[in-house]
A and B are shown apart, each in its own frame.
Chain A
Amino acid sequence: MKDVVEIRWHGRGGQGAKTACLLLAEVAFNSGMYVQGFPEYGPERMGAPITAYNRISRERCSVHSNIYSPNFVVVVDETLLKAVDVTNGLKEDGAIIINSEKTPEELRPLLRGYQGKVYTIDARKISEEAMGRYFPNTPMLAAAVKVSNVVDSDHFIRDMEASFRHKFASKPHVIDGNMRAIRQSLEEVCAG
């Protein structure tokens, strides 16, 4: 099972981390992969820390436990860096992707000694510019795709566009905003 890519999402209830996790499963599925996308359920409240997981592989993965040594960690809310040990078990040859206006160098001291790659993406700016409101999950999904490379970026763009056209057939402005956010995020995700 060496070729299973494991991703852990950290967010706060209401920010769409679970939705982003399920969307990632969807786009990986659409590119022919075997997928798992599942949230960890606890006391559910708006604003409480939540965790969600993806396993993506060429063959069906039968493991049904949570993920303790992920290849990638996605942090949808920067304030979690102090509240949750987000790099716990994260592989050193993997990467963490954080929603922040700060640079990777500025955030590294908060990562409890993690030596692997750190990426940042300003999902608030991208979301507010492209969609007029703060929906961090679309830009974070794009950043996760770009960094993890579980799906080819061009394929991902085509797939998301088709999916949005289907979902928001009566709201074309929503489609355009989301697609702008995705393209911008793919370009702007910043390596440290």
Chain B
Amino acid sequence: MTIRNRLSGNEAIAYAMKQINPDVMGAFPITPSTEIPQYFSTYVANGEVDTEFVAVESEHSAMTTCMAAQAAGGRAVTATSSAGMALMWEMLYVAASSRLPVTMALVNRALTGPININCDHSDSMGARDSGWIQLYSETNQEAYDNFIQAMPIGESDEVRLPVMVCQDGFITSHAVENIELLDDGDVKRFVGEYAPENYLLKKENPLAIGPYDISNYYMEHKKQQAEAMKNAKAVILSVAKQFEELSGRSYGLFEAYEMEDAEVALVLIGSSAGTAKETVRRMRGEGKKVGLVKIRVFRPFPMEELAETLSKVSAVAVMDKAESFSACGGPLFAEVRSALYDLERRPKAINYVYGLGGRDICVEDFAMIYGQLFEIAKTGETGPVYRHIGQRELGGDR
């Protein structure tokens, strides 16, 4: 049974948390965190959940609280954004390498300087090497659905890794849109109980978590962690299949939109994919064979699957909502171009950095990029590879 409602992305995540009723929420209750702990704390205060809400003095402690709860055999969630996650940085790595499947709702906002509070992916992209599974959402609906799928993924025996569920700051987090909610009982059954094999205070087999790991063992542990991330791909797909049976909504590692016969394509992440879909619909109406790939799972990265999907296009533009200062392109571009390397016949690839610090991108901007891709396909000339869209200073778009 689904329930028609309208919620902001933040409300949708808080609602999913309420339906899940986790054991612990460790969260910093004010800025730079999100409205999510605020909404969730209302459910706690009203007795609608029996979660222990630990209002900490910093985000570093928020993650530590979640790790401790998870290590003790509980299920812990947190929510944060931007500079808040930056203050968790050290603990992100510890959570992942201690194999503690904490679930985090991340509202993507710029990691600042000059000060900016708006959307981009610099926070989570910076954390891409921390060992967390990363699921990204286009809409409030996807944020809700991804959050419900996060625990069965992260807590799976073959995975045991923390999961961050990302959505675009303000663009979806503060926008009210229609949403289909699942029944409380269905969510509880889908998520199930967290029953780890071992935990800190298990009487028969008490466990130490996070002790010093000497060089003779450390690398084996890291390899195990890498294997867990590889295993996550199949688990994500299997959880998605079960979720589809429950909700009717289908998820994969990415969404291939109008890709069957596409000649040129975009690859992008998050809310702007919805805007680009409108461009695709309009250009398809004019007979132009354009498509797009929206990445849902960035960690683990769907390298082989993506290469296969892009193998038939002539030119692709990879869109990065984060500037990683590599001097040769953004983080998504690096992954996608690497994925294309093993293809016999590779499409030409360009990179567009866009949307930093809340800079808007419109249907017409994507039409312009598709136009450039057709030109590249026709002439075979890629031109500059590493581009920044809509620069207002002279020569800034080169």
Contacts and interface: CB of A to CB of B under 8 A. Distances in A.
Interface of A: 1, 22, 25-26, 29, 34-39, 41, 60-66, 68
B275 interface: yes
B117 interface: yes
Nearest to A34: B178
Given A1-B278, A29-B6, A63 B170 contact: no
B363 A65 contact: yes
Interface in B138-153: 138-139
B208 to A, nearest CB: 45
Given A62-B278, A64-B274, A64-B275, A37 B176 contact: yes
Contacts of B177: 34-37
Given A29-B6, A41-B117, A62 B275 contact: yes
B58 interface: no
B176 A63 contact: no
B213 to A, nearest CB: 43
Contacts of B271: 64
A38 B360 CA distance: 14
Interface string B1-18: 000001000000000000
B278 A35 contact: no
B334 interface: no
Contact of B170 (A34, A38, A65): A38
A110 B277 CA distance: 38
Given A65-B361, A65-B363, A38 B275 contact: no
Contact of B175 (A26, A34, A37, A68): A37
Interface in B273-297: 274-275, 277-278, 281
B98 to A, nearest CB: 36
A67 to B, nearest CB: 10
Chain B interface residue number, banded: 20 to 34
A125 B348 CA distance: 63
Nearest to B281: A1
Given A26-B6, A29-B6, A68-B362, A63 B174 contact: no
A38 B174 contact: yes
B275 A36 contact: no
A1 B281 CA distance: 9
B272 interface: yes
A38 B358 CA distance: 14
Closest 8 pairs (CB-CB, A-B): A38-B175, A62-B274, A64-B271, A37-B176, A29-B6, A65-B362, A64-B274, A62-B277
Contacts of A34: 177-178
B172 interface: yes
A22 B174 CA distance: 10
A65 B361 CA distance: 6
A181 B281 CA distance: 42
B118 interface: yes
Nearest to A36: B177
Nearest to A68: B362
Given A36-B177, A62-B277, 10 more contacts: A22-B176, A35-B176, A36-B175, A36-B176, A37-B177, A38-B175, A41-B170, A61-B278, A62-B278, A68-B362
